[in-house]
Amino acid sequence: MRQSEKLRDVLYDIRGPVSARAARLEAEGHRILKLNIGNPQPFGFDAPAEILQDVIAGLPGSAGYSDSRGIQSARRAVVHHYQLIEDFPPLDIDQVWIGNGVSELIQIALQALLNNGDEVLIPVPDYPLWTAVTNLAGGTPVHYRCDEDNDWNPDLADLEAKITDRTRAIVVINPNNPTGAVYSKQTLESIVELARKHDLVLMADEIYDKILYGDAVHHALATIAPDVLTLTFNGLSKAYRVCGYRAGWLAVTGPLERARDYLEGITLLASMRLCPNVPAQNAIQVALGGYQSIRELILPGGRLLEQRDTAVTELRKIPGVSVVEPQGALYVFPRLDPEIHPIKDDQQFALDLLESEKILITQGTGFNWPDPDHLRIVTLPWSRDLAEAIGRLGEFLSTYRQT
Ligand code: PLP
């Protein structure tokens, strides 16, 4: 039996063939250091206790379906959360949808928007779900470059040049996965201006908005675009360390009257998934209203900041490897100089590293990066484990040759 042709261009290499090989090695008894997925809990990042308590307390009453858009308390908590962000446009619970993670809401938002052949501007490198879902929805992903020599900021000229009369939306991932870039207000204003001029929808994936290092500041895209239809995606997976619960939300702001038909489409698709996981929805109010413990992890002396620093320092010790210091999120995206490390097939490189060192990373082309000269490492392991893993990567690279 063959899979459908709709899946022809649908790729999700973060959990692709290399991680399938890792699973087989694990089944054979090998211990694999998984540096491929932003999954905090296995690295000792526990969810805040108050979240667990509320979810457990809510379990007996969570066995029924909820409203398709999500429970009131969660949607109200999202409204309240954005009310506290200066300049966030007016938001009412009718503008909020809860999802089984941001992932489900990305699928709903793109499926509801795109006709076959409609184009979506997506950054490259990207979080590959955006490209995969655009393809699955019959759209055409058009990648705008982010410039490594300019701290991975979007190349605005490239973005503008790629707008056509088929373009429907611009995706902005800020803080960015995989690069860790955090965009300035000025950069965001330029993107908003393009959306305004060409009547495009803005899709702001801000799941890492609270994971910021040093003096990085996050500007919610919606605060700059009160007059542009803006879909803000966020959730509990990363900052609240409960990605297994699958709790995310979508908040829509801007000229809603003009978008009424599209928003009805979103509600239709939300109703077809019946409802989001109800026990996980109980986590949203307590998470947003409770103590924001992520700050302890990113402030000086915090574990995430220290690990980011370790990853950058250790990678820079490897000859032929360079890395832009991430300003946010949970990843580093180093470059392997092709003169020193001439890799033709980076998936093969990831497989070879896995077989030899039992370290699982994701190859750069898995993020739609066109050249086989980058890789992504998560900065979640303790510093000593990260330093050891990156040291082993360096040793492996020193003798590695592809034929
Ligand atoms: N968006 C980005 C940029 C991500 O990195 C991820 C997960 O890694 C997601 C969305 C998906 O998040 P969720 O767990 O809410 O589905």
Q: What is the pLDDT of residue 154?
A: 98
Q: What is the pLDDT of residue 220?
A: 98
In the reported structure, the alpha carbon of residue 402 is separated from the centroid of ligand 1 by a whole-number distance in angstroms of 33
Could you tell me what percent of the chain has a pLDDT over 70?
A: 100
- Phi-psi bin for 68: left (phi > 0), alpha (psi -120 to 50), beta? alpha
Whether residue 296 has pLDDT greater than 90: yes
Against a cut of 0.90, is the pTM above it?
yes
Closest ligand 1 atom to the C-alpha of 243?
14
In terms of CATH architecture, what is 5-46+296-399?
Answer: Alpha-Beta Complex (3.90)
SS3 68: coil
Closest ligand 1 atom to the C-alpha of 106?
10
- Reference 369, options 128, 19, 121; nearest CA is 128
Distance from C-alpha of 34 to C-alpha of 359, rounded to nearest angstrom: 6
Query: Could you tell me the pLDDT band of residue 140, with boundaries at 50, 70 and 90?
Result: very high
Whether residue 43 has pLDDT greater than 90: yes
In the reported structure, the alpha carbon of residue 102 is separated from the centroid of ligand 1 by a whole-number distance in angstroms of 6
Query: Could you tell me the pLDDT band of residue 15, with boundaries at 50, 70 and 90?
Result: confident
Q: Give the pLDDT confidence of 142-189 residue by residue, as tens digits.
A: 999 999 999 999 999 999 999 999 999 999 999 999 999 999 999 999
- Reference 13, options 400, 334, 376; nearest CA is 376
Close Cβ partners of 204 (under 8 Å, ≥ 6 residues apart): 172, 174, 220, 221, 222, 230, 231, 232, 233
Model ipTM over 0.90: yes
Close Cβ partners of 295 (under 8 Å, ≥ 6 residues apart): 210, 302
In the reported structure, the alpha carbon of residue 235 is separated from the centroid of ligand 1 by a whole-number distance in angstroms of 8
Return phi, psi of residue 214, to 5°: 60, -135
Q: What is the pLDDT of residue 381?
A: 95
Mutate to test the pocket of ligand 1, among 108, 207, 210, 333 (most ligand atoms within 8 A of CB): 207
In the reported structure, the alpha carbon of residue 313 is separated from the centroid of ligand 1 by a whole-number distance in angstroms of 26
- CB-defined site of ligand 1, < 6 Å: 38, 101-103, 127, 173, 177, 205, 207, 235, 237, 243, 248
In the reported structure, the alpha carbon of residue 363 is separated from the centroid of ligand 1 by a whole-number distance in angstroms of 18
Average pLDDT over the chain reads: 96
49-289 placed in CATH 3.40.50.720: no
List the chain domain ranges.
5-46+296-399, 49-289
Closest ligand 1 atom to the C-alpha of 127?
3
Close Cβ partners of 279 (under 8 Å, ≥ 6 residues apart): 55, 58, 59, 62, 245
Helix and strand element counts for the chain (H, E): 14, 15
Q: How many CA atoms lie within 13 A of 224 on its CB side?
A: 21
Overall average pLDDT of the 209-226 stretch: 97
Helices (H), 199-245: 221-224
Mutate to test the pocket of ligand 1, among 127, 209, 232, 376 (most ligand atoms within 8 A of CB): 127
In the reported structure, the alpha carbon of residue 186 is separated from the centroid of ligand 1 by a whole-number distance in angstroms of 25
